[in-house]
């Protein structure tokens, strides 16, 4: 369950690193709380950190859809 993250940047498994679309903060799926637009997210690979999701009132900044919590399981 607990694995060191960022130990091998390329090709590591278990942790999937993404960036917040607003502040470019590094987010780790499976570790951090990450939100995504159900429409734009899979299409454009957009993720939001918790702070920005709150700032956006849980709405996508591109299409206005409600953001959903990304559930990532290994």
What is the Cα Rg of the chain in Å? 12
Cα separation, 20 vs 33, in Å, equals 11
- Is residue 60 a contact residue for Zn ion (CB under 5 A)? yes
Q: Is the dihedral of CA 32, 13, 22, 48 positive or negative?
A: negative
Give residues 17-46 in contact with Zn ion (rule: CB under 5 A).
Answer: 20, 22-23, 25, 37, 39-40
Could you tell me which stretch among 4-12, 28-36, 55-63, 66-74 binds Zn ion (CB under 5 A)?
55-63
Q: Which residues bind Zn ion (CB under 5 A)?
A: 20, 22-23, 25, 37, 39-40, 49, 52, 60, 62-63, 65
């Amino acid at each position: 369950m607990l694995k060191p993250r960022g130990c091998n940047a390329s090709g590591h498994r278990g942790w999937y690193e993404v960036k917040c679309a607003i502040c470019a903060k590094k987010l780790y799926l499976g570790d951090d709380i990450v939100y995504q637009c159900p429409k734009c997210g899979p299409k454009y690979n957009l993720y939001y950190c918790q702070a920005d999701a709150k700032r956006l009132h849980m709405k996508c900044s591109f299409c206005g859809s409600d953001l959903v919590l990304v559930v990532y399981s290994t």
